[in-house]
A and B are shown apart, each in its own frame.
Chain A
Amino acid sequence: MNQPLAEALTHLRMGNQTFLINFYQDHRDHFARWARRHHQLELASAHEALRAVLIDFYDQVIDGRLTKLPPDLRAYLYGMGREQIETVKTTAALPVVEASRRQHLLGVFGQMGNDCQQVLMYFYFRGYNFEKVAGKMGFANATVARLQKASCLRKLIELRGRAADGALPGAAAAPPAV
């Protein structure tokens, strides 16, 4: 890992996910061998489990559930991997209301079209301004990007409201992409 471990959490909180991307690149094969030896897990499933672990770890850092980097990060993440495979959860969870609200929005987000998802990710996570969003997405100018983002946000709010009212069966359902 290029970044010193001590800085990893700070970088993650600032939205720099390179630390986890590098971890995945460096440990993917090793984790797959470990998962096959200890849990008889197929290669693709092991990779998927490690991705889920890293996303969960990221959520823990962002939510403030993890404030200190574990002394042996690999052992910690492999432990989370074991829990992921055995579907056992021992790490701190978010309050139910908050967790369910976020999971609900995540499900709704997944129902949107790729362009909308991308625009919202660029704006709300990466913090790109409208000019940069326009450049990344190939829009004519910043105004188009602003209108596109506004439209996507309205669609998301609409879908969220409909799902909350029970008009949509939930996150698992797959209505046509917006």
Chain B
Amino acid sequence: MMSPAELRPYLDELERFADGQMTTSEQDVFEERMLREPALREAFEVFEQITADLRWVAGHETLRHRLLTLDHRLNQRQDALLRIKRRQRRTQTRWGAIVAVLALLAVGLWFFLLRPAARQSGSAWQNYYVADPGLPSENTLDEHRPLLAEAMTQYRLGHYPAAMHALRRVPTDNLGADTLQYYNGIFLLSEGDGQAARPYLRRVVQQSGSPLVRKARYHLAVAYWAARQWPEARAAFREVAADSLNPYRRDAQKVLQANVLRGSD
């Protein structure tokens, strides 16, 4: 096979011929020379083989380069997507942490500020309080006591001031004093005013002949609790819990068992 040194003298001509750089007459002369000069013909054949192989190599390498470039671009895209996902996850985690911290702060605030206030306002007693059902409507209407009936209706609806207003208009000759005092106390207690309810209920408790004494004793105990009078409340609840005839005996026992009658004495 022809060496590069042997090929070199023919290269310019061969290249010009192969690349179409020759004029038509130059091409004719060159082709004629190839017929006459075996060395030129051999050089041409070697050159043709090299360029044919080079075309194959160039195609092969072009594809390899294109695939590599594409691979690089796809890797970059995947990396970028991964970075975006990571950033999104980080942001989500950060927001999650902020929300969790805020929620914890809110719970803390509620616990330290609102909860004690609730305890101070006496809402704990309301959780245990068993309200009086009020007088049944047949008792009030049959005996022609519309104002009393109105008071009871308002009481059952939770409209305590209106109930109180109606009760105060009931003629005293139409209703026993103990009943009037009892419901005055009940309405006030239901409204949350334990302090105001106490005197009414105490007066009922002191009327030993009244059938409302036992019930009044329970509500008085709750009124003490609402007024944050802990020793009095404990004593009153114990008394109710010890009385087997008291309809609120079980309720009083529950309060004592729960040990909720505590506070700054």
Q: Are A51 and B64 in contact (CB under 8 A)?
A: yes
Q: Does A20 contact B (CB under 8 A)?
A: yes
Q: Are B59 and A54 in contact (CB under 8 A)?
A: no
CA distance A75 to B49 in the complex (A): 35
Number of chain B residues close to chain A: CB under 8 A? 31
CA distance A106 to B57 in the complex (A): 6
Q: Is the interface of B mostly helix, strand, loop or mixed?
A: helix
Q: Does B48 contact A (CB under 8 A)?
A: no
Closest 7 CB pairs of A and B: A161-B4, A125-B58, A124-B58, A121-B58, A51-B67, A125-B59, A105-B53
Task: Pick 26 A–B contacts, CB within 8 A, sort by A.
Answer: A15-B59, A20-B63, A21-B70, A24-B71, A28-B74, A51-B64, A54-B63, A54-B67, A55-B60, A55-B67, A58-B63, A63-B56, A105-B53, A105-B57, A109-B54, A109-B58, A109-B61, A121-B58, A121-B61, A121-B65, A124-B51, A124-B54, A126-B62, A153-B15, A154-B11, A156-B54
Q: Mark B33-63, 1 if CB is under 8 A from A, else 0.
A: 0000000000000000011011111111111
With a cutoff of 8 Å between Cβ atoms, the chain A residues found around residue B58 in the complex are 109, 120-121, 123-125
B171 to chain A, nearest CB (A): 93
Q: Mark A70-102, 1 if CB is under 8 A from B, else 0.
A: 000000000000000000000000000000011
With A55-B60, A109-B57 as contacts: A160 and B4 at CB distance below 8 Å: yes
Q: Mark A132-168, 1 if CB is under 8 A from B, else 0.
A: 0000000000000010001001101110111001000
Q: Across the two chains, which residue of chain A brings its CB closest to B50?
A: A157
Q: Does A33 contact B (CB under 8 A)?
A: no
Number of chain A residues close to chain B: CB under 8 A? 39
A residues with a Cβ closer than 8 A to B are 15, 17, 20-21, 24-25, 28, 47, 51, 54-55, 58-59, 62-63, 101-102, 105-106, 109-110, 117, 120-121, 123-126, 146, 150, 153-154, 156-158, 160-162, 165
CA distance A106 to B59 in the complex (A): 11
Q: Does B66 contact A (CB under 8 A)?
A: yes
Q: Across the two chains, which residue of chain B brings its CB closest to A25?
A: B70
Partner of A58, one of B54, B57, B60, B70: B60
